């Protein structure tokens, strides 16, 4: 509530204005909180992905993601898995559906031969639909 002094008497005149400054302060604080908290809400396996020039394709609701880390260990949907147990872990993750697309991401440091070996493991397990993940970007090597 704001008040103005009148020149003539002891009474204060009321003004019917809303001070919006506290509302703006609250909104800015909430904006900062959401900007800080949003990146923390994603849980991913940290890999250095190469970039790609291919047009993006629509993503499935819940993709099955297989990640090859720089030290050549495998992670299936964020959980560690060995190469020997890869087929069984994929069957469990897909419910035995061999037609489901497997999203494969590999660290930039992984050699082509190691990537091919993992893709051969996917093929021998019966999973022929494989999507490779890369970063959007220009022609960066």
Long-range Cβ pairs for the range 78-84 (8 Å, 24+): 78/43, 78/44, 78/45, 83/118, 83/121
**Residue 56 pLDDT:** 73
Report the candidate in 25, 17, 12, 22 with the shortest Cα–Cα distance to residue 1.
17
**Residue 71 pLDDT:** 93
Domain count, the chain: 1
pLDDT in tens, 89-106: 999 988 888 888 899 999
pLDDT in tens, 99-137: 888 999 999 899 999 999 999 999 999 999 898 888 776
In a domain, 58, yes or no: no
In a domain, 112, yes or no: yes
CB within 8 Å of 27: residues ≥ 6 apart: none
In a domain, 111, yes or no: yes
Q: For residue 108, give the CATH number of its domain.
A: 3.30.420.270
In a domain, 116, yes or no: yes
In a domain, 138, yes or no: no
Is residue 30 over pLDDT 90? Answer: yes
Helix (H) / strand (E) element for 74: namely strand 74-76
User: In terms of residue numbers, what domain contains 108?
Assistant: 65-133
User: Tokens 């964020």, residue?
Assistant: 78
Q: Residue 92 corresponds to which tokens in the numbers above? A: 């469990």
In a domain, 125, yes or no: yes
């Amino acid at each position: 509530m704001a008040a103005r002094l009148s020149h003539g008497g002891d009474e204060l005149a009321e003004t019917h204005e809303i001070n919006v400054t506290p509302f703006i302060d609250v909104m800015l604080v909430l904006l900062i909180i959401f900007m800080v908290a949003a990146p923390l809400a994603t849980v991913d396996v940290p890999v250095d992905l190469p970039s790609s020039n291919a047009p993006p394709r629509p993503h499935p609701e819940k993709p099955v993601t297989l990640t090859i880390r720089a030290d050549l260990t495998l992670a299936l949907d964020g959980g560690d898995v060995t190469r020997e147990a890869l087929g069984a872990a994929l069957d469990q993750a897909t419910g035995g559906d061999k037609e489901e697309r497997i999203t494969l991401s590999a660290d930039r440091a992984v050699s082509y031969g190691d990537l091919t070996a993992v893709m051969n493991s996917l093929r021998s397990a019966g999973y022929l639909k494989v999507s490779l993940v890369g970063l959007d970007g220009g022609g960066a090597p």
